[in-house]
């Protein structure tokens, strides 16, 4: 990966809606060269996906929470499979410390959160949960820093 590839990644992380022509203009290369570089970055798995960032609150998802789980590790795979199938679970992190997993969940309201927590708590092998409601996202940045 050279400096041009790094610049492409930086620009895409700021605005993935940019055209190859505009990207080429900013980098001083042709749009076809940009296309070939982006295609190579995708083939190598460096760019996994280009997506829109949607504001969940505008769509009615007003409550975000972090759910910590302690589990029976002998049932790890089946628990992961069930958690991955839950549409309200945005992220599952296998973590160190007293908890096995930390989930980021996004729901419309407290009623939906209660329903989701019941579902999670009833998964075979889940021993204990603890939930923290996110009051305010002070910093949320999904970009990867590129040297």
CA atoms within 13 A on the CB side of 48: 2
The architecture (CATH level 2) of 56-133 comes to 2-Layer Sandwich (3.30)
Q: Quick one: pLDDT at residue 108?
A: 97
Q: Quick one: pLDDT at residue 104?
A: 98
122: Cβ–Cβ under 8 A, 6 or more apart, which residues? none
Q: Quick one: pLDDT at residue 141?
A: 84
Q: Quick one: pLDDT at residue 47?
A: 94
Q: Quick one: pLDDT at residue 80?
A: 98
Out of 3.10.180.10, 1.10.10.10, 3.40.50.11540, 3.40.50.150, select the CATH number for domain 3-43: 1.10.10.10
Give exposure, 93-124, as e/b (b: 16+ Cβ within 10 Å). eeeeeebbbbbebbbeeeebbeebbeebeebe
In the block, tokens 């998802």 appear at 61
Q: Quick one: pLDDT at residue 50?
A: 87
Low-confidence ranges of the chain (pLDDT < 70): none
Q: Quick one: pLDDT at residue 127?
A: 98
List, for residues 101-115, the tens digit of each pLDDT value: 999 999 999 999 999
**Domain locations in the chain?**
3-43, 56-133
List, for residues 120-129, the tens digit of each pLDDT value: 999 999 999 9
- Among residues 113, 119, 145, which one has the least CA distance to residue 132? 113
Residue 81 CA to residue 88 CA, distance in Å, equals 14
Tokens of 119: 């579902």
């Amino acid at each position: 990966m050279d400096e041009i590839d790094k610049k492409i990644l930086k620009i895409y992380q700021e605005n993935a809606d940019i055209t190859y022509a505009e990207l080429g203009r900013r980098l001083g290369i042709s749009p076809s060269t940009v296309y070939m570089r982006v295609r190579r970055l995708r083939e190598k798995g460096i760019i996994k996906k280009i997506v829109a960032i949607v504001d969940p609150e505008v769509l009615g998802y007003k409550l975000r929470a972090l759910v910590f789980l302690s589990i029976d590790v002998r049932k790890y795979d089946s628990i992961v499979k069930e958690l991955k199938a839950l549409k309200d679970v945005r992220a599952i992190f296998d973590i160190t410390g007293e908890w096995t997993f930390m989930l980021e969940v996004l729901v419309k309201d407290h009623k939906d959160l209660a329903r989701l927590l019941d579902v999670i708590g009833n998964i075979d092998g889940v021993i204990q949960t603890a939930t923290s409601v996110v009051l305010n996202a002070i910093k949320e940045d999904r970009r990867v820093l590129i040297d």
